[in-house]
Amino acid sequence: MSLSLAIEIYFVIILLVFGFMFFSNLFRLDKYLIAPLFNLSREFYLSILSYPLIVLLIIGLLDLSGGTKLTMQLYAPVKFEKDKTERYDAIKSKLIQIRDLQVLYKSNSAENRFANNFEELIEFAKNGYITISKYVEKSEIIVNPEWIARGWKESTIKKTQKTYKTPSGEEKVNTDEGWMKRSWFEKVELGKIKVCCSDKDSLQIKDIENLADIPFSEPEQKFTLSAKKIVKSNTEISVFEVSDPDPFDPSQPLKIGDLNEVNLDGNWE
């Protein structure tokens, strides 16, 4: 018999005894139930009470063990939620890092796809570069095509000044003579920067070699990563999904991305 089972039996007996005594006292059955039983067991009680220290020690140990077990049972859900919060916060943080890395990978992929495995993703993080660029507004003054459509000759318009200055010195386009300003935005490269993982790089991911490892998993387990292309509205779109194959709480698994929908969010977001 295990110690745990013995403690449970002890408490059941205590509850039965007190229940029996309460029932007898409630219905005034003391002299019919308790008194005869006490007389029958008198010699047994007296023999036990001849060793009071041993009896007290046994009762004390049983009470202490029972109290400890009860406390552990009551604390177990609290500890589970505490451990779950700590683990899930770390897992969510890592899944977001993987997503950020996947987005950079796709933006630099000639095939416009996500990485199919962690080996590709880690290699890109360690040795890849991304281009830093910005959009600059540019403009030029051209002949207004509407004037040409109305019958004006381009050569005639080009004989006039493109701009003129107002009395305040402001330069304006000479729209009255058939000119117009055309504006657009042009992408200009500013340079390249490493993907990971120093403070100067695009992403700061600690321990990039173990990117696939699930935090707090015992024994150590790894995320599952899958990527493919799906068709939505007659357009081929890349998707990926990263998930925990053995979640701490089976009723609440964590994943980020989706293999069947265009979605980069985590299922907790």
Q: What is the pLDDT of residue 238?
A: 95
Provide the domain limits for residue 96.
Answer: 51-128+200-269
Kindly give the parts of the chain with pLDDT less than 70.
1-56, 58-76
Say if CB 206 and CB 198 are below 8 A apart.
no
Same domain assignment for residues 204 and 255: yes
Same domain assignment for residues 57 and 155: no
End-of-domain residue from the set 148, 164, 194: 194
- Residue 189 lies inside a defined structural domain of this protein: yes
- From the number of C-beta atoms within 10 Å of its C-beta (0-12, 13-18, 19+), residue 5 rates as exposed
Q: What is the pLDDT of residue 66?
A: 62
Q: What is the pLDDT of residue 52?
A: 63
Q: In which region does residue 261 sit, left (phi positive, over 0), alpha (psi from -120 to 50) or beta (all else)?
A: beta
pLDDT, tens digit, 9 for 90 and up, residues 71-87? 666 656 777 788 888 99
Residue keyed to tokens 């890092």:
97
Question: What one-letter code names the amino acid at 207?
Answer: D
The domain total for the chain is 2
3-class DSSP assignment, residue 229: strand
Q: What is the pLDDT of residue 15?
A: 60
Same domain assignment for residues 64 and 188: no
Q: What is the pLDDT of residue 256?
A: 96
Q: What is the pLDDT of residue 203?
A: 80
Same domain assignment for residues 123 and 68: yes
Same domain assignment for residues 136 and 118: no
- Residue 33 lies inside a defined structural domain of this protein: no
Identify the CA nearest to 97 among candidates 194, 193, 214.
Answer: 214
Same domain assignment for residues 241 and 161: no
End-of-domain residue from the set 146, 174, 194: 194
pLDDT, tens digit, 9 for 90 and up, residues 10-26? 556 666 655 555 555 55
Q: What is the pLDDT of residue 65?
A: 66
Q: What is the pLDDT of residue 24?
A: 54
pTM over 0.75: no
